C-alpha cells in the first residue's frame, strides 16, 4: 500500500501525558469553567466569607453526596439511559441501615453493609430489567423509584429511625486529620475509581460505544447487557453510599431523605456538558457541574436569599448554561 | 470443487413464519471476489448476517476450509476469521478512529487497563498503510461519510480475516476512494482472502468480481463466472423474467421556463448557482458526494437559508423562506434520506400519502376518511405500490414501495416542480424501472423534474439535460447530445 504524507501531528507521546489531558479538559469545558470562576469571583466579592478554607470544605462536603450520584449518572447517561431511582434508594438505604442498627441491634458495620447491599440490589434490579426487557430505562427506574420510596415508608412506618452511635455518626460528619470531611474523602476515592473506569478500562469505552451507536457495539461483539447491568448496579451502590452518609449526618434514617436528588444529579451531568442522547460526555464536566450547583446554593445562602428563590435561580442557571453550550457547539 | 474456503448450504431462516432464506447456497473460494446479487429483500443481507453470527440459522450447514462449523455469535464469526463491512456505517461517533478500530478487542496492559499508546500507534500505522491522511485520535464524528466508510474497511481488514463481507461498500464513496478500495481488494485477494461483495452497481461487479451468485426471494438461483455473463443475463436471473425496457424516457422539447434560479450563493456551500428548468423536462444533477447538490435543492425548497440569489417561478420572483412557501409555489422535494427525513415509518401508507393534503378532505372538524381512502387508493394503483392495504405500516414495505409512497405524498400536492433527490437509492431493479416509468409519465404530463443522482447510467438515460456540480458550483449544463460518463466525470471532478 502506498504511503501518502500524513499531515496532522503524529506526536503520539503528547496525547498521553497528563499535561495534555488537562489542557484538553480545559479546552473542551472552557465555557463552563469560565462560568464557574466568574460565579466564584462574584460571590467572593459580595461575601468575604466565601473564600475561606472552612467554607470551601463546606461546599465540597455539601456537593459530595450529589456527586456520588452524578458520577454514576454520567455513566448511565453516556450509556444512553437514565436512573430516576437514586433519590429513593438514598431513603431506603438509610432506613435499612439505621433500623438494622437501632432496631435489630446489629453492629454498625453490619448495618452499613446491609444498607449498601440494598442499594446494590435495587441497582441490579434496574439493570436486569433494562437489559433483558425492552422497557425504556425511564419507565423502569420510575417504577423502582416508587417501589424503593414506598419500601422506605413501609419499613420505617413513615417515621425517622434514630441511631445514637458516635461511630455511625462519624461516617458522614467526621474529619480526617481534623480537616478533611469524610464525605469528601469518599468523593476523592469514588472520583478516582470513576476516572479509571471511564478512561482506562474496556468497560468505560464500551459505555461510550453503547450510547453512541448500539448497533456498532453489537457488531463489535460487545455485550450491551453486561455494560448496562454494571452501570445501573454501580449507580445503586453510589446511591447507597450517599444514603449512608446522609443518614449518618442526620443521626437517623428518614423515608423522606433524598427527594429530588436524582434531578440534582441529572442537572450536574447536563451542566457538565454530557449529551442526554448518550455517547458523549466526561466525568470532569460533571464535577464542575455539581460544583456550580453547590457554589450557587452556598453563595445564595451566604447572601441570605431564601431557598424558595434559590429554586428559581437554579432553574434559570441550568437553562442558560446548557443553551450557551448548545450555541457554542453549533458554532464550532 | 477444489479449494473451497467457505461453503454455506441449505441455509434456511424464518422470521415469524416467513421464510427470509430458503435453502440458500454460497460457495466462496480463497482469493476470489464473489458477488452476491439480488433485489432488495432477496435475502443477501440476511445470509450474510447468518454468516456474521448476528442471526442464527434454522437449518443448513456452514463449512470453513472443509470443516463444518457452528456460528452462534459475532465472537464466533470473528474467531473463524469472518469480518463484515455493513451497509449502514456502524461506528461510534464520539470515539476516536483508533478506539473504533479496536472496539471490542482493545490491547491491554498488564494492569488490565487499556494500552492507549499501543492502540493509537497501531491504528495510526493502519491509517498510514492505507494512505489515509488522518490522525488516529480524530473523532469519528468529525469525518465525512466516505472517510467513515474507509475506516470501516480498515477495521475489517485489521482483523486479518480470511473472509471479508462487503455490503454495498461504495454507496457513499467518491470515485477516487472507490479506486482505492478496489486496489485494497486486489491486494487482499493476492493474500488469499475470500471476499463476498454485495453491490447494486453492475459496472463494479464486472470490474472487480470473479464469480457472481444470484439470489431471489431468499433462494439460490445460480452462480456464474463474471467474464462469461452479461448484464441482461444477471438482471433476468434477479428478476426472474426479462425486463423489456429498463430506462423509459421520451424526450422533451418544451421551451417554457418554469423555474429559474439566479446566482444562488450560500457561504461555503454553494457558489453562484444559476440554472433554468423547463416545462416537462427532467433535469439531472450530477456530481460527487458533497458537491452541494442536495444543499442547493434544500435552499430552493426553503429547508436551508442562503445569502444571495433569486428564485423565479413562472416568470415571477418569489421569496421562499420555508418549505411551506415552496409548496405554495408548487415545488415538491423528495428527500434522499427517506427513512430519516421523509417517511413516518410507524404510520400507515394512507397517513404518509395524505399528510400534506389533509385540508382537502376536511369536513368541518374531521377528516372525511372516504375521500381520503379514495385518494390514497388512486396513488396505490397509479404508482403500483405493493401493500396489503391503506392501513399497512410503511416500515413493512420494501425500499422501492416506500419510495413510491413518498413520491405519492408529493404528487398529492399537485406540484409543477418535482425535485427527486437520489430517487432510486436502495431500491431494487424491478422497482427502479417502475420509478423511471413514473418519472417519464409525470414529465409527459407537464411536471418539471429535477433529479439529483449519483447513479451515472440513470442520469444519462433519464435526463433531458444534465447540470454537473463540483465544490458548490455548477460547472456545466449539458444537452443530451453532449453527455457521456466521461464528460460528466470530467466536470464533476473540477475540470473546465
pLDDT tens track for B402-446 = 999 999 999 999 999 999 999 988 787 778 888 999 999 999 999
The CB density around residue A153, as the number of other CB atoms within 10 Å, is 15
Is B130 touching A (CB cutoff 8 A)?
yes
What is the per-residue pLDDT for B243? 55
Exposure letters B37-58 (e unless 16+ CB within 10 A, then b) = bbbbbbbbbbbbbbbbbbbebe
Residue A7 has pLDDT above 60, yes or no: no
Ranges of each domain in chain A: 58-297+309-321
Axis-axis angle for helices A108-132, A224-249 (nearest 10): 150
Topology of the domain comprising B257-492: Rossmann fold (3.40.50)
Whether the predicted interface score ipTM is above 0.95: no
State the span(s) of chain B assigned CATH 3.40.50.300.
Answer: 4-239, 257-492
What is the per-residue pLDDT for B257? 92
pLDDT tens track for A235-292 = 999 999 999 999 999 999 999 999 999 999 999 999 998 988 888 888 999 999 999 9
- CATH says A58-297+309-321 is which class? mainly alpha
Contact yes or no for A222 and B113 at CB 8 A: no
Axis-axis angle for helices A182-200, A166-173 (nearest 10): 60
pLDDT tens track for A179-221 = 899 999 999 999 999 999 998 888 998 999 999 888 888 877 8
Residue A332 has pLDDT above 60, yes or no: no
The Cα-based distances of A302 to A55, A58, A64, A306, A329 in angstroms read 10, 12, 19, 10, 34
pLDDT tens track for B386-411 = 888 888 888 888 888 999 999 999 99
Interval B14-27 mean pLDDT: 85
Contact yes or no for B187 and A15 at CB 8 A: no
pLDDT tens track for A14-33 = 445 567 777 877 877 787 88
Q: Which residues of B touch A201 (CB under 8 A)?
A: 112-114
Q: Which residues of B touch A200 (CB under 8 A)?
A: 113-114
**Preferred mutation among A28, A209, A273 to probe B, highest tally of B CBs within 10 A:** A209
Q: Return the residue of A nearest to B182 by Cα.
A: A1
Percent of chain B clearing pLDDT 90 (strictly above): 44
What is the per-residue pLDDT for B263? 94
Question: How near does any CA of chain A get to the CA of B31, in Å?
Answer: 18
What is the per-residue pLDDT for A269? 95
What is the per-residue pLDDT for B241? 62
Percent of chain B clearing pLDDT 70 (strictly above): 98
Residue A2 has pLDDT above 70, yes or no: no
E strand or H helix that includes residue A95: helix A86-102
Give the whole-angstrom CA distance, residue B5 versus residue B30. Answer: 5
Is A157 touching B (CB cutoff 8 A)?
no
Is A162 touching B (CB cutoff 8 A)?
no
Contact yes or no for A209 and B129 at CB 8 A: no
pLDDT tens track for B231-269 = 888 888 887 765 556 788 888 878 899 999 999 999 989
Question: How near does any CA of chain A get to the CA of B290, in Å?
Answer: 19
Give the whole-angstrom CA distance, residue B311 versus residue B321. Answer: 11
Contact yes or no for B95 and A208 at CB 8 A: yes
Residue B200 has pLDDT above 90, yes or no: no
Is B120 touching A (CB cutoff 8 A)?
yes
CA atoms within 13 A on the CB side of B152: 29
pLDDT-derived band at B154 (thresholds 50, 70, 90) equals confident
Is B99 touching A (CB cutoff 8 A)?
yes
Residue A5 has pLDDT above 60, yes or no: no
What is the per-residue pLDDT for A86? 97
What is the per-residue pLDDT for A331? 62
Model confidence, pTM: 0.73
What is the per-residue pLDDT for B20? 84
Secondary structure class of B99 (helix, strand, coil): helix
Residue recorded with cell 463540483: B470
Residues 83-102 of A with CB under 8 A from B: none
Topology of the domain comprising B4-239: Rossmann fold (3.40.50)
What is the per-residue pLDDT for A13? 43
Is B92 touching A (CB cutoff 8 A)?
yes
What order of strands is seen across the sheet that includes strand B18-29? B18-29, B4-15, B59-64, B67-69
What is the per-residue pLDDT for B274? 95
pLDDT-derived band at A12 (thresholds 50, 70, 90) equals very low
Residues in chain A: 332
Secondary structure class of A263 (helix, strand, coil): helix
Give the whole-angstrom CA distance, residue B264 versus residue B198. Answer: 39
What order of strands is seen across the sheet that includes strand B194-198? B82-85, B163-167, B194-198, B33-37, B211-216, B219-225
pLDDT-derived band at A9 (thresholds 50, 70, 90) equals very low
Residue recorded with cell 504524507: A5
Question: How near does any CA of chain A get to the CA of B182, in Å?
Answer: 12
Interval B83-106 mean pLDDT: 86
Nearest to B326, CA basis, from B417, B459, B409:
B417
Is B268 touching A (CB cutoff 8 A)?
no
Give the whole-angstrom CA distance, residue B476 versus residue B464. Answer: 14
Residue B447 has pLDDT above 50, yes or no: yes
What is the per-residue pLDDT for B381? 92
Contact yes or no for A6 and B121 at CB 8 A: no
Contact yes or no for B103 and A209 at CB 8 A: yes
Contact yes or no for A212 and B106 at CB 8 A: no
CB pairs under 8 A between A and B: 98
| Positive or negative torsion for Cα B411, B414, B420, B421 | negative
What is the per-residue pLDDT for B245? 64
Amino acid at each position: 500500500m502506498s504511503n501518502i504524507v500524513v499531515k496532522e501531528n503524529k506526536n503520539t507521546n503528547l496525547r498521553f501525558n497528563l499535561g495534555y489531558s488537562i489542557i484538553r479538559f480545559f479546552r473542551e469545558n472552557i465555557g463552563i469553567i469560565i462560568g464557574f470562576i466568574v460565579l466564584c469571583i462574584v460571590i467572593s466579592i459580595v461575601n468575604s466569607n466565601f473564600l475561606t478554607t472552612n467554607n470551601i470544605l463546606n461546599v465540597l462536603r455539601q456537593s459530595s453526596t450529589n456527586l456520588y450520584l452524578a458520577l454514576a449518572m454520567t455513566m448511565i447517561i453516556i450509556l444512553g439511559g437514565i436512573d430516576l431511582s437514586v433519590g429513593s434508594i438514598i431513603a431506603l438505604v438509610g432506613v435499612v441501615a439505621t433500623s438494622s442498627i437501632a432496631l435489630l441491634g446489629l453492629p454498625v458495620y453490619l448495618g452499613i453493609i446491609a444498607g449498601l447491599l440494598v442499594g446494590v440490589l435495587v441497582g441490579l434490579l434496574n439493570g436486569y430489567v433494562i437489559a433483558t426487557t425492552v422497557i425504556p430505562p425511564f419507565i423502569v427506574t420510575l417504577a423502582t423509584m416508587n417501589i424503593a420510596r414506598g419500601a422506605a415508608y413501609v419499613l420505617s412506618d413513615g417515621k425517622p429511625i434514630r441511631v445514637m452511635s458516635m461511630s455511625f455518626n462519624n461516617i458522614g460528619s467526621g474529619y480526617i486529620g481534623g480537616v478533611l470531611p469524610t464525605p469528601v474523602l469518599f468523593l476523592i476515592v469514588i472520583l478516582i475509581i470513576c476516572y479509571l473506569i471511564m478512561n482506562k478500562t474496556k468497560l468505560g469505552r464500551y459505555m461510550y460505544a453503547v450510547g453512541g451507536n448500539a448497533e456498532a457495539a453489537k457488531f463489535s461483539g460487545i455485550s450491551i447487557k453486561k455494560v448496562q447491568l454494571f452501570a445501573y448496579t454501580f449507580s445503586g451502590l453510589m446511591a447507597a453510599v450517599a444514603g449512608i452518609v446522609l443518614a449518618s449526618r442526620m443521626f437517623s434514617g428518614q423515608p423522606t431523605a433524598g427527594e429530588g436528588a436524582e434531578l440534582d444529579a441529572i442537572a450536574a451531568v447536563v451542566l457538565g456538558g454530557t449529551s442526554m442522547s448518550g455517547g458523549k460526555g466526561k466525568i470532569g464536566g460533571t464535577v464542575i457541574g455539581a460544583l456550580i450547583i453547590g457554589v450557587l446554593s452556598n453563595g445564595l445562602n451566604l447572601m441570605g436569599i431564601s431557598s424558595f428563590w434559590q429554586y428559581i435561580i437554579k432553574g434559570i442557571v441550568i437553562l442558560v448554561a446548557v443553551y450557551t453550550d448548545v450555541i457554542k457547539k453549533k458554532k464550532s | 470443487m477444489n479449494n473451497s474456503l467457505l461453503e454455506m448450504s441449505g441455509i434456511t431462516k424464518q422470521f415469524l413464519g416467513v421464510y427470509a432464506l430458503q435453502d440458500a447456497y454460497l460457495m466462496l473460494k480463497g482469493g476470489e471476489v464473489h458477488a452476491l446479487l439480488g433485489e432488495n429483500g432477496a435475502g443477501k443481507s440476511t445470509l450474510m448476517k447468518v454468516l456474521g453470527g448476528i442471526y442464527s440459522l434454522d437449518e443448513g450447514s456452514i463449512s470453513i476450509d472443509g470443516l463444518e462449523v457452528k456460528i452462534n455469535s459475532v465472537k464466533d464469526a470473528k474467531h473463524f476469521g469472518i469480518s463484515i463491512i455493513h451497509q449502514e456505517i456502524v461506528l461510534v461517533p464520539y470515539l476516536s478512529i483508533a478506539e473504533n478500530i479496536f472496539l471490542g478487542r482493545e490491547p491491554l496492559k498488564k494492569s488490565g487497563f487499556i494500552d492507549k499508546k499501543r492502540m493509537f500507534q497501531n491504528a495510526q500505522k493502519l491509517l498510514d498503510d492505507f494512505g489515509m491522511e488522518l490522525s488516529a485520535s480524530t473523532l469519528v464524528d468529525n469525518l465525512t461519510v466516505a472517510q467513515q466508510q474507509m475506516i470501516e474497511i480498515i477495521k475489517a481488514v485489521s482483523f486479518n480475516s480470511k473472509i471479508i463481507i462487503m455490503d454495498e461498500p461504495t454507496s457513499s464513496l467518491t470515485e477516487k476512494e472507490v479506486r482505492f478500495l478496489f486496489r485494497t481488494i486486489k491486494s487482499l485477494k493476492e493474500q488469499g482472502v475470500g471476499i463476498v461483495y454485495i453491490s447494486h452497481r453492475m459496472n463494479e461487479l464486472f470490474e472487480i468480481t470473479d464469480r457472481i451468485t444470484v439470489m431471489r426471494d431468499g433462494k439460490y438461483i445460480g452462480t456464474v463466472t463474471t467474464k462469461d455473463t452479461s448484464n441482461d443475463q444477471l438482471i433476468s436471473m434477479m428478476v426472474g423474467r426479462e425486463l423489456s425496457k429498463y430506462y423509459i424516457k421520451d424526450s422533451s422539447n418544451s421551451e417554457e421556463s418554469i423555474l429559474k434560479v439566479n446566482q444562488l450563493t450560500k457561504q461555503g456551500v454553494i457558489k453562484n448557482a444559476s440554472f433554468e428548468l423547463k416545462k416537462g423536462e427532467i433535469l439531472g444533477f450530477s456530481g460527487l458526494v458533497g458537491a452541494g447538490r442536495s444543499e442547493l435543492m434544500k435552499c430552493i425548497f426553503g429547508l436551508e437559508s442562503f445569502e444571495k440569489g433569486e428564485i423565479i417561478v413562472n416568470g415571477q420572483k418569489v421569496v421562499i423562506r420555508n418549505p411551506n412557501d415552496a409548496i405554495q409555489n408548487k415545488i415538491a422535494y423528495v428527500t434522499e434520506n427517506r427513512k430519516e427525513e421523509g417517511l413516518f415509518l410507524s404510520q400507515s401508507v394512507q397517513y404518509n400519502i395524505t399528510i400534506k393534503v389533509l385540508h382537502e378532505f376536511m369536513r368541518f372538524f374531521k377528516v372525511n376518511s372516504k375521500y381520503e381512502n379514495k385518494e390514497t387508493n388512486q396513488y396505490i394503483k397509479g404508482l403500483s405500490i405493493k401493500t396489503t392495504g391503506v392501513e399497512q405500516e410503511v416500515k413493512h414495505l420494501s425500499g422501492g414501495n416506500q419510495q413510491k409512497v413518498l413520491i405519492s405524498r408529493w404528487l398529492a400536492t399537485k406540484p409543477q416542480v418535482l425535485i427527486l433527490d437520489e430517487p432510486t437509492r436502495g431500491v431494487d431493479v424491478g422497482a427502479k424501472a417502475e420509478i423511471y416509468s413514473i418519472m417519464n409519465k409525470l414529465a409527459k404530463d407537464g411536471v418539471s423534474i429535477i433529479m439529483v443522482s449519483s447513479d451515472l447510467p440513470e442520469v444519462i438515460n433519464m435526463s433531458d439535460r444534465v447540470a454537473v456540480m463540483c465544490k458548490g458550483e455548477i460547472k456545466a449544463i449539458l444537452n443530451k447530445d453532449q453527455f457521456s460518463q466521461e464528460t460528466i466525470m470530467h466536470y464533476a471532478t473540477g475540470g473546465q
